[in-house]
Amino acid sequence: MFRLFFIFLLIISDAYSGTIVDYFDDRGAALSTFPEYQIEIANKNQVRFWKTKGGLIQCIQFSDGNVGGLWFSWNKRQQYRRKISIYRVSSCRFPLEKYNTLASQYNRYRETYFGIQLPQVVMESLNQVEIGGNVWRVEKTAKEYLKHHPLPFYNIETNRVLTYRYGMGFASELFKEYINSDPRNNMTRKSFIDNYVNQVESTGNQNEENYSEYKIVIALGLGWSNDPKYLEDLPYYVHMFLDDMKSLGVDLEYVPVDPYGTTFENTQVIEKYLKDHIHDSQKIILMSLSKGAPELIRALGRLNKAGLINEDSSLKAYMNISGMISGANIAYLEKYAPKWLLKIFGMSDLKEPFLFIKPEIMQEFVAPYAHELPNTLKYINLTGILPGDGLIKKDDMAMTDAILLNKTLKLFKGANDGLVEYPGTIIPNAWTENTYTIVMESSHMILDGFITNPKTLKSYDLFEDQYRKNVYKALFMTTLDLIEDRE
């Protein structure tokens, strides 16, 4: 009943209030769906666009002179996949009938709906609208867009502007293309995929390498722990990670941080651990997950600023997996989230609930030491970027809930991996000269993605046990390639 009442209000306010305006310019070219850009139409008599104060395509006037057409409308505030409504109009003013559909179904209507074929430019406009666009773009791909509009840098504000203009999905693809446009990142990603495919497709007869000179030191993320007193209550995917790491054949040590501790407390624990092990006989490769990243970055920066890290130190590399470096917008849930929801995100037991993972707090926490990171280490980012419309297609982990919440509550202003706005998941080149980034088509969880063999085009679904565990082995081996300068 409420929905019908809302539709009635929409019809009354938009159709009968006289807000429809003819938007042809002096040359006869129609203004587009998006008010910031003009579209040229080859045959200006074939179709006409009308627009309301909402910036929507309203109706089409046919070239045979009949007054009437179709009126397309959508929720402009929605940044992900939008539902587009179709109205049948008789006079380009008064809606008579309404049909609901998705833009992806317009191909079915193009040839058959009232015998009308929509111009290609209209189809392309609706496709861009469907994935959240508010500004028309000529370029069909992210690579083509960056070719014509190169970005000198990519920060949070850049990401938010691109998201408003083109939607969550396309902004994500622009961030991915921005990363991959760096030849070093392309090289590293190729090495990672080669290492992964070799692991997955090996017959098992290959001689195992001896990694005894290395150990991986891990700073886990929010709500994650290897401490037996927490294990029983942790989600299954935490157990999966711990088991997968055991299978690497490398010595492991977990920094004993509190899974629900504050960033300042955990940083002190990490800093003390590194001080005690900075001259170990084994070479140390650091690893952080999510919230572990800002804590480890601050600890490293503080030690380096104090002159305790140099080329003779045991620290050789740092693998950052889905860092929460710029904070998590999900923290704003504190205003209205029930306890069961907070438990899903590991936030029900925090010592200082939400405060220290809010973006403004986290960025202030990291900033003083971001540029103090030692250049003697190699820094490898593994980050998830959701393609297409920015929605997860297959996941039963926490990020699905996060994205569904964001669709409703608008917690994020920019494209994100479900938890962190880009580029806040990575250590950027501006902070240290030895940074390499590998992009996964996934969410913050990484394990809801897939890896494709570029030679055979076979895809490996990381939900499956036999494919998932090789991700960390491939990342470790890619890191060794960089440390030892292996081709």
Res. 75: pLDDT tops 90 = no
User: Which of 111, 130, 149 corresponds to the end of one domain?
Assistant: 130
The verdict on 33 and 126 lying in the same domain is: yes
Strand 95-101's sheet: what is its strand order? 69-73, 84-89, 95-101
130 vs 336, residue with greater confidence:
130
Tell me how far apart the alpha carbons of residues 32 and 30 are, in angstroms, rounded to a whole number. 6
Q: For residue 106, is it within any domain? A: yes
Return the residue matching tokens 């990490």: 270
Q: Taking all residues of the chain, what is their mean pLDDT, rounded to a whole number?
A: 76
Q: For residue 420, is it within any domain? A: yes
Res. 106: pLDDT tops 60 = no
Check residue 356 and give its pLDDT: 81
99 vs 226, residue with greater confidence:
226
Res. 53: pLDDT tops 80 = no
The verdict on 197 and 71 lying in the same domain is: no
The verdict on 199 and 91 lying in the same domain is: no
Check residue 38 and give its pLDDT: 27
The verdict on 85 and 189 lying in the same domain is: no
The verdict on 222 and 101 lying in the same domain is: no
Mean pLDDT of 339-351: 60
For residue 361, CA distances in Å to 324, 325, 350, 366 come to: 12, 11, 15, 9
Highest mean predicted confidence (pLDDT) among 81-95, 229-243, 285-299, 320-334: 285-299
Check residue 341 and give its pLDDT: 62
444 vs 1, residue with greater confidence:
444
The verdict on 417 and 270 lying in the same domain is: yes
Task: Write out pLDDT tens, residues 442-473.
Answer: 889 888 888 998 888 899 988 888 888 899 99
Tell me how far apart the alpha carbons of residues 222 and 259 are, in angstroms, rounded to a whole number. 5
Res. 219: pLDDT tops 70 = yes
The verdict on 273 and 354 lying in the same domain is: yes
Cα–Cα nearest to 213, from 110, 350, 316, 141: 316
Res. 330: pLDDT tops 70 = yes
Res. 10: pLDDT tops 50 = no
Q: For residue 220, is it within any domain? A: yes
Mean pLDDT of 377-390: 90
Q: For residue 60, is it within any domain? A: yes
Tell me how far apart the alpha carbons of residues 473 and 411 are, in angstroms, rounded to a whole number. 34
Q: Could you tell me which residues are beta bridge partners of residue 378?
A: 317
User: Which of 112, 130, 148 corresponds to the end of one domain?
Assistant: 130
Q: For residue 147, is it within any domain? A: no
Q: For residue 371, is it within any domain? A: yes
Tell me how far apart the alpha carbons of residues 362 and 355 are, in angstroms, rounded to a whole number. 9
Q: Which helix (H) or strand (E) holds 243?
A: helix 236-246
Tell me how far apart the alpha carbons of residues 432 and 377 are, in angstroms, rounded to a whole number. 9
Cα–Cα nearest to 223, from 444, 37, 486, 427: 444
Res. 485: pLDDT tops 70 = yes
Q: For residue 466, is it within any domain? A: yes
Residue 16, domain extent: 2-130
169 vs 354, residue with greater confidence:
169
Tell me how far apart the alpha carbons of residues 65 and 63 are, in angstroms, rounded to a whole number. 5
Check residue 58 and give its pLDDT: 40
Q: For residue 246, is it within any domain? A: yes
The verdict on 85 and 199 lying in the same domain is: no
Q: Which residue type occupies 399?
A: M
194 vs 209, residue with greater confidence:
194
Mean pLDDT of 331-347: 64
Check residue 323 and give its pLDDT: 95
DSSP letter string over 295-336?
HHHHHHHHHHHTT---TTSSEEEEEEES--TT--GGGGGGGT
Check residue 70 and give its pLDDT: 59
User: Which of 114, 130, 146 corresponds to the end of one domain?
Assistant: 130
pLDDT band at 395 (very low <50, low <70, confident <90, very high): low
Number of domains composing the chain: 2
**Cis peptide upstream of residue 359 (ω within 30 degrees of 0):** no
The verdict on 337 and 209 lying in the same domain is: yes
The verdict on 102 and 203 lying in the same domain is: no
Res. 345: pLDDT tops 80 = no
Q: Could you tell me which residues are beta bridge partners of residue 85?
A: 73, 100
Q: Could you give phi then psi for residue 11, rounded to 5 degrees?
A: -65, -45
The verdict on 116 and 244 lying in the same domain is: no
60 vs 48, residue with greater confidence:
60
Check residue 410 and give its pLDDT: 76
Highest mean predicted confidence (pLDDT) among 105-109, 120-124, 408-412: 408-412
222 vs 288, residue with greater confidence:
288
The verdict on 322 and 425 lying in the same domain is: yes
pLDDT band at 213 (very low <50, low <70, confident <90, very high): very high
Check residue 23 and give its pLDDT: 25
pLDDT band at 349 (very low <50, low <70, confident <90, very high): low
Task: Write out pLDDT tens, residues 303-319.
Answer: 999 999 999 999 999 99
Mean pLDDT of 375-379: 96
In the chain, what percentage of residues exceed pLDDT 90?
42
Is residue 342 within 8 A of residue 348, CB to CB? The reply is yes
Mean pLDDT of 29-55: 30
